[in-house]
Amino acid sequence: MRYQPVIGLEIHCELQTDSKVFCTCQNEFGGSENTRVCPRCSGMPGTLPLINQNAVRLAAKAGFATDGTVNNYSAFDRKNYFYPDLPKAYQITQFDHPITTGGYITVFNGNKMRIHHIHIEEDAGKLVHDDYEGISMADYNRCGVPLIEIVTEPDFRSVEEVQDFVEKIALRLKYAGVCDARMEQGSMRVDVNISIMPVGSTEFGTRAEIKNLNSVKAIGRAIEYEINRQAEILDNGGTVIQETRRFNDNHGDTKALRSKEEAHDYRYFPEPDIPPVWLSDEDIAEIKASMPEMPQSRFKRYTEEYGLPADDANLIISSKEFSDFYDEAVKINPDYKQISNLMLVELNRNLNESEKTISDVTFSPADLAELVKMSTDGVVSKNAAKDILKIMFDKGGKPMEIAKNNGFIMDNDASEIEEIVNRVIAENADSVESYKNGNQKIFGFLMGQVIRLAGKGANPKIAKDVLTEKLK
Amino acid sequence: MALKKLRKMLDEKEIGAVELTRRYLDKIEKTDKNVNSYITVCAESALESAKKAQELIDAGEAGAFTGLPISVKDNICTMGVKTTCASRMLEDFVPPYDATVIEKLKKDNFVMLGKTNMDEFAMGGSSQTSYFGGVKNPYDTSRVTGGSSGGAAASVAAGLCAAALGSDTGGSVRQPASFCGVTGLKPTYGAVSRWGLIAFASSLDQIGVIAESAEDTGYVLDGIYGYDANDATSSKKSYGNYTSLIGGDISKLKIGVPKEFFGDGLNDEVKTAVLRAVEYYKQLGCEIIDVSLPSLEYAVSAYYLISSAEAASNLSRFDGIKYGFRSGLGENFNDLIKNSRREGFGSEVKRRIMLGNYALCSGYYDAYYKNATRIRTQLRSEYAAIFDKCDVMLTPTAPTTAYKIGEQENDPVKMYLADIYTVTVNIAGLPAISTTCGYDSNGMPIGMSLIGRAFDEKTIIAVCDRFEKDFERKECAL
């Protein structure tokens, strides 16, 4: 039988706050075990949690980044369970009243993938297993790291929709400064709820939850595996059971962690140590106003208003800093296409070769805008512009000064070129002869000789015209 | 002796701080074996503090608490001093931080005499569930002190400290104060920071004061109240000066007497004494108003559901892994924490944990916890209606006086029902004060409570003080 997968996502994202969500320990990745722990985040008796206002703010921004509604009232609850990496034996989370509700992301095929809600919670610690000694050790550095959990509706029907959604939401969260979305470091973690049903059916099957997916590729492999696993069960007349499964990246398979019957009763109840969070309409408006323009909106602007090809627009928005740089430059010189070209080809070449990112660039968007203008105005040739950009990139400096100091200013004096052309024709009689006998290709060689003698300031158009004329 | 008077004596050098502390320490050594009010006596550090206090006094830099010998309930964290909650689970727990209330008193260089005994994790009304043995009533050592701050109340009654810090979740300051013939103040929820108070039920817990008089409780509250950034539930609505209305005219006040508090189950002698106090205020010119708190009959159930649910969660952290008691048995994590908790907690604590977890289980949540929170809302609005009509409410503190040790502590339902007159105050987050208003035929103290509007401790302290000025207390036997 052919089956249709039905998929929903739960995405955990670490918020980019300076400190943890309920104490003042630093929120960082890595470092030695148990160096960022205090009585509060390790749940010592008599301690109380304190809400990090910036975490609330970033969570609200995640809502705006996904076109959700930020709620005036949200509140914390306790999720109770025993595990050695959870020192209080409860996780503070939002169960009944999340910070945001609703929202969606439109994926590549135009389908809207709806978000149910986003809630704030604290991360747990990590267990380090020493198989050799046969012991486990707890590292509480991650305890109390602020998280948001983004919970979607079961709207996904293919791997591609899931992967596109994950990439898009990661990009938006980066734009909003909410999360650095580094899946390989665990700052963004995706759990997939997946069931299958016969094609054409509207009744969802029993779902399995796949945990531990740390790359877009792993998400794809896990879903493919799970579709096949569940299909095989159904084809053999079996029934899929509701359970939590772990994806093993090395084997490419999923293994059962615990079934529904073994699931915890988390005994949720309102967290009495933290008063509810009230955000006034003004607070919410202020947070909204602080949001940068999101990538999908920029894409629309670049393609519809600026006339850039979709591929180019996608390349620009793939990094907020790159897109910001572009926007600054076109604000000064609205030559959308030329600035895009120079950045996507020449600037990117320099970045790739030097293994730098746009944040490392020392010249300003205004410098780049000026350079493009110098090129389109004929002050320097296009080739010279590339050279100037490289000098700006390597050593810094203003484009006009660089052009002047290096003889890049285009010389529009035809008489000077004429002398050079005459000299080239005289010195390359064989080639001239060959050209006149119909070897059109040799023109390029002769042109090259002219430019070499005339220097980088030569106006290639004038040179070409003069040479053509003289060769007649 | 009144704290104000002690302060004056210290400042005017009628007595030295070291001498004063030594007197208390001597008395503790002599008599506390009969009372068991202290779990830890800090003789050495107390004398050191007293020495330093004297230096400050000599330098003319004494504050309100400099050199005053105070006892601290053993669920309030004290840096470097064992804080056990009277439990085997925390028998050797030494906090690396001070509770905010301790920090505040330390700024003045107060003298902490020691940590007082209590019901394990503050769960109980007899102070007999302590891992370190029960507390005995200084008026009759065959009787209970009440609880859970029984050690605090007994330490004040027996003259083993000048004042005591306790905690009150469902009556744990007021009821032992009532049983031990002293004064106990439970402030408004949020008036005093809970940072460093080892949580029993977070939405109900409040640090309170037990002392010889209403004036003294106000004196101490002035030193410990206030918003604290470390406790998100602490409030900015408190302004101190808690004794400022003392001596003023209270004859214009309206005093509410709720009929539900004088019904079945109230001991006749207690009823008579409390109604005599009502009459006293009437004679002063106060208007006595009949009021009603119809939801009182649900209050005990609501209290035990909410407090046990929160306690079950709060006490989950005690797993024997990071600190506290660890069982020698257990091959893996689950077995280790099961055994640590089985051996580390006493039976009353276990009962509450089971009750609380049951109330929170999916399938039971709506019937138990959710309904309890509805009663909380209902009680708050009934109190709001009462305080539209009157300024303070007068009730008995407990249905009985101190009973014989062993008489009823083993009957949990009877014990829980005895909290009926105190729990509504915690559920509604209000301030209340208990003082002695008579003695029963056995000579045991009878307590009455004055309940006030939120953050209006001043009024109940003044009203209570007025009664105390005209009431002659009997010295305890010890």
What's the CA gap between A73 and A203, in Å, rounded? Answer: 35
Contact A350, A381 (CB under 8 A): no
Backbone dihedral angles phi then psi of residue A231, each to the nearest 5 degrees: -65, -40
Under an 8 A CB cutoff, do A45 and B229 touch? no
Question: B231: how many CB neighbours lie within 10 A of its CB?
Answer: 22
What residue type is assigned to position B461 of the chain? I
Which of A46, A50, A267 is closest, CB to CB, to B77?
A: A46
Q: CA angle, corner A95, sides to A91 and A96, nearest 5? A: 150
Closest CA to A231 of A384, A390, A4, A398: A4
Specify the DSSP element, H or E, that contains B272.
Answer: helix B268-284
Helices A365-376 and A382-395: angle between axes, nearest 10 degrees: 160
Q: CB count, 10 Å around CB of B46?
A: 23
What pLDDT score does B14 carry?
Answer: 97
In angstroms, the Cα distances linking A252 to A152, A222, A225 are 25, 7, 7
Q: What is the mean pLDDT of residues B298-321?
A: 96
Residue B417: φ, ψ to 5°: -65, -25
Please confirm, yes or no, whether B389 is among the known catalytic residues. Answer: no
Q: What are phi and psi of A335, to 5 degrees?
A: -95, 75
CATH class of A414-471: mainly alpha
| B362 prior amide bond cis, ω within 30 | no
Q: Which of A94-98, A208-212, B108-112, B420-424 has the lowest average pLDDT?
A: A208-212
- Tokens in use for B394? 């007068």
CB within 8 Å of A471: residues ≥ 6 apart? A425, A432, A435, A436, A443, A446
Element (H, E) at A311: helix A310-317
Do residues B412 and B335 make contact, with C-beta atoms less than 8 angstroms apart? no
**Which pLDDT score, from 0 to 100, does residue A30 have?**
84
CA distance linking residue B447 with residue B399, whole number of Å: 9
CB B253 within 8 A of CB B459: yes
Chain A residues close to B230, C-beta within 8 Å: 48, 50
Angle between helices A53-65 and A281-289 (to 10 degrees): 70
| Least Cα separation, residue B36 to chain A (angstroms) | 24
Residue A424 DSSP SS3: helix
What's the rounded mean pLDDT across residues B261-286?
97
pLDDT for B131 equals: 98
Of A43, A48, A268, the CB nearest to B230: A48
- Determine the pLDDT at residue A428: 86
Give the pLDDT score at B458. Answer: 98
Question: Quick one: tokens of B446?
Answer: 């009878």
Residue B144 in contact with residue B134, Cβ under 8 Å? yes
**CA B384 to chain CA mean position, Å:** 24
Q: How many helices (H) and strands (E) does chain A have?
A: 16, 17
What residues contact residue B8 under an 8 Å CB cut-off, 6+ apart? B14
Task: Answer yes or no: do B316 and A48 touch at CB < 8 A.
Answer: no
3-state secondary structure of B294: coil
Q: DSSP of A114-173, one letter per residue?
A: EEEEEEEEE---EEEEETTTTEEEEE-TTTT-EEEEEEE-S-B-SHHHHHHHHHHHHHHH
* Residue A249: predicted pLDDT: 87
Whole-number pLDDT of residue B44: 98
Cα distance between residue A342 and residue B247, in whole Å: 85
Reply yes or no on whether the pLDDT at B386 is more than 80: yes
The confidence score (pLDDT) of residue A460 equals 80
Are B161 and B70 in contact by the 8 Å Cβ rule? The answer is yes
What's the rounded Cα separation, in Å, for the pair A388 and A401? 10
Instruction: Give me the residue label for tokens 């007649």.
Output: A472
Which of B90, B332, B360, B374 is best to mutate for the A interface (most A CBs within 10 A)?
B360
Mean local confidence (pLDDT), B242-268: 96
Q: Is A186 left (phi over 0), alpha (psi -120 to 50) or beta?
A: left
Q: Any idea what DSSP says for residue A89?
A: S
Predicted local distance difference test score (pLDDT) of residue A420: 85
Written as six digits, the tokens of B333 are 């994590």
Spatial contact of B304 and B169, defined as CB atoms under 8 Å apart: no
Residue B175 forms contact with A (CB below 8 Å): no
CA distance A410 to B48: 88
Q: Please provide the average confidence, as pLDDT, over all residues in chain B.
A: 97
Q: Which of A242, A162, A257, A254 is nearest to A208 (CA)?
A: A242
Write out the H or E segment, with its range, that includes residue B222: helix B214-224
Q: How many residues does chain A have?
A: 472
Which two three-digit tokens encode residue B445?
A: 């103290």
Residue A255 and residue A265: Cα distance in Å, rounded? 22
State yes or no: is B73 an active-site residue: yes
Look at B142 and A415; give whichever has higher pLDDT: B142
Place of tokens 């006595």: B288
CA distance A114 to chain B (A): 28
Asked if A50 and B229 come within 8 Å (Cβ–Cβ), the reply is yes
Over residues B117-128, the pLDDT tens digits come to: 999 999 999 999
Name the closest residue on chain B to residue A84, using Cα atoms: B333
What domains can you pick out in chain B, each with its CATH number?
A: 1-478 (3.90.1300.10)
Per-residue pLDDT of chain A (472 residues; tens, 9 = 90+): 799 999 999 999 999 999 999 999 999 888 899 999 999 999 999 999 999 999 999 999 999 999 999 999 999 999 999 999 999 999 999 999 999 999 999 999 999 999 999 999 999 999 988 888 888 899 999 999 999 999 999 999 999 999 999 999 999 999 999 999 999 889 999 999 999 999 999 999 999 999 979 999 999 999 999 999 999 999 999 999 999 999 998 888 999 988 776 778 999 999 999 999 999 999 999 999 999 999 999 999 999 999 999 999 999 999 999 999 999 999 999 999 999 999 999 999 999 999 999 999 999 999 999 999 999 998 898 888 999 999 999 998 999 999 999 888 877 777 778 888 888 888 888 888 888 888 888 888 888 888 888 777 777 888 888 888 888 7
DSSP B355-380: HHHHHHSTTTTIIIIIHHHHHHHHHH
pLDDT at position B165 over 80: yes
Q: Tell me which of B172, B234, B295, B449 is the catalytic residue.
A: B172
Q: What angle do CA A273, A143, A32 make, to 5 degrees?
A: 145
Token digits for B264?
Answer: 């079945």
What's the confidence (pLDDT) of residue A152? Answer: 98
Helix axes A442-454, A414-427, angle to 10 degrees: 120
Amino acid identity, residue A277?
A: V
* pLDDT bucket at B3, cuts 50 / 70 / 90: very high
Q: Across the interface, do B232 and A138 touch by the CB < 8 Å criterion?
A: no
Closest Cα in chain A, distance from residue B359 (Å): 9
Dihedral pair phi/psi, residue B155, rounded to 5°:
-65, -35
The token pair that represents B48 in the structure block: 């050191």
Is B172 annotated as catalytic? yes
Distance from CA of A233 to the nearest CA of B (A): 31
User: Considering the entire predicted model, what is its pTM?
Assistant: 0.92
Q: What does residue A325 show for φ and ψ, rounded to 5 degrees?
A: -60, -45
Give the C-alpha separation, B373 to B379, whole Å. 10
Answer for the pair B127, B146: CB distance below 8 angstroms, yes or no.
Answer: yes
Please give the single-letter amino acid code of residue B256: G
SS3 content of chain B, % helix, strand, coil (to 5): 45, 15, 40
CA B314, B317, B321: angle at the middle one, nearest 5? 165
How far apart, in Å, are the Cα atoms of B333 and each of A78, A95, B232, B330, B350? 22, 28, 33, 7, 20
Cβ neighbours, 10 Å, residue B44: 9
Domains of chain A, by residue range, sit at 3-283, 293-405, 414-471
Interface with chain A: mutation pick from B74, B317, B332, B374, highest number of A CBs within 10 Å: B317
Question: What phi and psi values does residue A102 have, to the nearest 5 degrees?
Answer: 75, -170
Section B210-230 average pLDDT: 98
Mean pLDDT value across residues B342-369 = 95
Predicted confidence (pLDDT) at residue B70 exceeds the cutoff of 90: yes
State how far the alpha carbon of A243 is from the alpha carbons of A206, A228, A461, in Å: 9, 16, 71
Type of residue at A427: E
The confidence score (pLDDT) of residue B373 equals 97
> Cβ B195–A267 below 8 Å, yes or no?
no
Instruction: Output the CA–CA distances (angstroms, integers) from residue B53 to B63, B69, B317, in the order listed.
Output: 9, 11, 38
Question: Cβ distance B186 to B165 under 8 Å?
Answer: no
Burial (CB count <10 Å: 0-12, 13-18, 19+), residue A132? exposed
